[in-house]
Structure 1
Amino acid sequence: MRETNREWYFAERPDGEPTLDSFEFREGDVPDPRHGELLVRVRYLSVDPYMRGRMRDAESYAEPWDVGDTLKGGVVGEVVESESDRYEAGDHVTGNGAWADYAVLDADEAAPVDTSVAGLPAHLGVLGMPGRTAYFGLLDAGDPKPDDTVVVSGAAGAVGSVVGQIARLNGCRVVGFAGSDEKTEWLTDELGFDAAINYKSTDDYAAALDDAAPGGVDVYFDNVGGPITDAVFRKLNLDARVAVCGQIAHYNDEGVPTGPRKLPMLIAPRATVRGLLVGDYVTRFEEANERLRGWIDAGELEHRETVVEGLENAPDAFLGLFSGDNIGKQVVRVSEE
């Protein structure tokens, strides 16, 4: 064990896009777990777009951070001290913990990690919150049918890349939007998407959709919002379903963005728009876990993690989400396995 514990704190609320000024690195004592808790040596931590909302002093589905709070999110690591009969030292677990070398987790809320299926980083991605979000968001909110055309924005990210593959496994035609040629090639060449659009090099999203989805759009899984969503809404088929998972294009907006009014576009196709939060499915998490593990084990579901080395670089990894640095899930390696 290290003799001290390095930890990231929330230093100030950002105006617009966050900068490194919002983060403070401190060094202190390794915490002691209390009854029912685990002291975990963090191997990897997760950075996720929803964390931008926690930086605002406003009510949201995720409780805002107070200035001075320890930054927290998904972590996976090894138990070094257990005050619970559920786990013992040496077990690998995942849960919600500090951006730190060592995190204290509630044993009742931690989950065991099976490294025989996939490595530790995957349990923060395809086998963690993003994978479950993709599973329930597409299958419940999107309700895909065989031969449907499914369009995914943010398709090369942690959620979108899984959404597209599950859609393909359900017999759908899949089109993804992503932000580089490397990403679009990954989607089509490795993940089996039927078409992919580089939104950074495409001037006319509507024309690109006409080519990629000539039959229109039956299901739209929206991680992004903005002009991509404006274009997709004009292509919705009769009884189309829209699953709204994220709006990363607007997370750094300080005012209310204006643009095309989308509600009239839903009338003729009688489309359904549904927001989703993965926490609503907590009683069904094991269902998703089993299906996702099964697809991975069968070689039917690919996953990829972009690993940023070093706890000291965790803020850079988070900020990189907004410039599209990652392919698949963005994680930080805190310590060697």
Structure 2
Amino acid sequence: MAPRANQSVGTTEFVLAGFPNLNSTGAEVFSVFLFVYLLTLTGNTLIVVLVGADHRLQTPMYFFLANLSCLEILITSVIIPKMLSNFLSRRHTISFAACITQFYFYFFLGASEFLLLAVMSVDRYLAICRPLHYPLLMNGAVCFRVALACWMGGLLPVLGPTVAVALLPFCKQGAVVQHFFCDSGPLLHLACTNTTRLEEADFVLAFLVIMSSLTITGASYGHIVLAVLRIPSASGRQKAFSTCTSHLMVVTLFYGSAIFLYVRPSQSGSVDTNWSVTVITTFVTPLLNPFIYALRNDQVKEALKEMFRKVVAKLLEQSLLGDSLRKKTAS
């Protein structure tokens, strides 16, 4: 089929519209997002370092938490640095190759995170409701294979839709993507061809990944709540419910925003509200996860204090050694 007159063959770049109606508040928004990004990186990196360094945290729960933190670090780093750089630039362009790469890694990492959240909920279900079988069911080899399956489960299925989007004809060079990154709906909106089949395929894939993960997570937490209700101690029930409520809050935010954005048959016509909801998945949940899942935990707090003491002791030792060497050199 011949290209339409306003269609550009071989698109080399897009323009990212960013956040609407910022005007003079751009500098303030940049500062807030930069602070949130750095805080997210710090919190999630701390989890990964602590789990790797402290043998007390080398259990299935913390192993999966470390994987979740790695996903959060990567998924925010795929989106936020380019978005922040656009605040400082007059040209908000992104190359076609960079746009498609961003598209692929965002959905690959997002799909892996959904699968991992489902696995984490099953892990907690087994630990609480099947404690006698737990060490056998969730040994080191099983945990590694399950985590690898989560990563691969996002890596491969997203490849087909990404290639399909990359091969679409786009209407003009430098077309404006109505978003702060290369999301599915805004990109399909720019295509100069009928994208109904591709949108339907995206809907089926998103439905399978998100809803299956949500079903497993909901069923696991449902059994956990029933088990908590059987705890005889009121203080024990209160502590368990506090933990479950925090987890469910983050899960609800993450799943709710994803369902709103991607579990619908048509995406190309819904570009106006996408950016505001995507903030939840790219800023809010990656920031909350390390605090909700780990940094409030007594074991993690103790490991963090011990690591801090070791770092301070090492710095003092190096300082004293440097002073001793300078004195010897002076004498």
Q: Is TM-score (shorter-chain normalized) higher than 0.5?
A: no
Using the size of structure 1 for normalisation, the TM-score is 0.24
TM-score, length of structure 2 as denominator length: 0.24
**Bigger radius of gyration:** 2
More RCO (CA 8 Å, sep 6+): 2
